[in-house]
Homo-oligomer: A and B are copies of this chain.
Amino acid sequence: MENKIILSVDKSMQLLDILLKSRHPMSLKMLAERSGYPKSTVHGLLFTMMQHDVVRQYADGRYGLGIRLYEYGTAVSESWDISALVHPSLEKLSEMTGAGTFITFFDGKNVISFDRCVGTGGLQVIPEVGMRMALHATAQGKLFLSTLSRSQVLHLLREFGMPAFTPHTITDPEQMLAELDAVRVRGYAIEHGEYRRGLMGAAAPIHEIDGKIQYALGFVGLFRSVTSDDFLSAVEKMLTVAKEIL
């Protein structure tokens, strides 16, 4: 399993990750330090990626993500082109509930937001488009996890970890499995301050292809509790809209 990996390619991807996380162009020296590889090695990898415009070098010598990645990203997002289809539904749900709404996509491992609509309410903490979301601390994450087998869930939780964002975050795998059972029964997932204190939300499946949920519709906002009338009515509205989209 480990030895099938082509190391130079693996290192290249690590560099891209570092550049992504830093959010800023980085010097060769920094890149070498952060990755743990010698400068010359890093240089060679960066040089190669530069030939493909996957990495670019600025006038001051620093390196950053290249234009080509934008092209790739666009190509990937086009393959989900249900965005145009569902955006009106997002707006509708935002208007009805006042909460921020968004659509996520699941590839079996990552939950990524690809469309969103800000609500009318005050605090808006809905994920940016393109952001990867925590599996264990968001309604979307739990919804998608609920479609997986016990072993798959445990594997993913181990891989990504279960950091406690708030005191409400579920950090115990067994507890999570129980929660996922509840999600399966309920048909949708809820999140009560597990990611940000006081923020609550829910997520419902949209597109099911042979049993696999591909997308989720969700909302997040400030509610008194997950049993309050306004929250429950928002959930109802979400389910209605999700059913319309199918």
Contact A44-B4, Cβ < 8 Å, known A74-B130, A246-B58: yes
Q: Does A96 contact B (CB under 8 A)?
A: no
**Which of A7-15, A31-39, A168-176, A195-203 lies at the interface?**
A7-15
Q: How far is the CA of A13 from the CA of B66 in the complex (A)?
A: 13
Q: Does A144 contact B (CB under 8 A)?
A: no
Q: Does A225 contact B (CB under 8 A)?
A: no
Q: Does A178 contact B (CB under 8 A)?
A: no
Q: For chain A residues 48-71, which have a beta carbon within 8 Å of chain B?
A: 48-49, 51-54, 56, 58-60, 64-71
Q: Does A238 contact B (CB under 8 A)?
A: no
The reply to whether B9 and A67 contact each other, CB–CB distance below 8 Å, is no
CB distance from A72 to the nearest CB of B (A): 4
The reply to whether A76 and B66 contact each other, CB–CB distance below 8 Å, is yes
Q: How far is the CA of A12 from the CA of B20 in the complex (A)?
A: 19
Q: Does A29 contact B (CB under 8 A)?
A: no
CB distance from A5 to the nearest CB of B (A): 5
**Which of A104-112, A134-142, A179-187, A216-224 lies at the interface?**
A104-112
Chain B residue nearest in CB terms to A107: B67
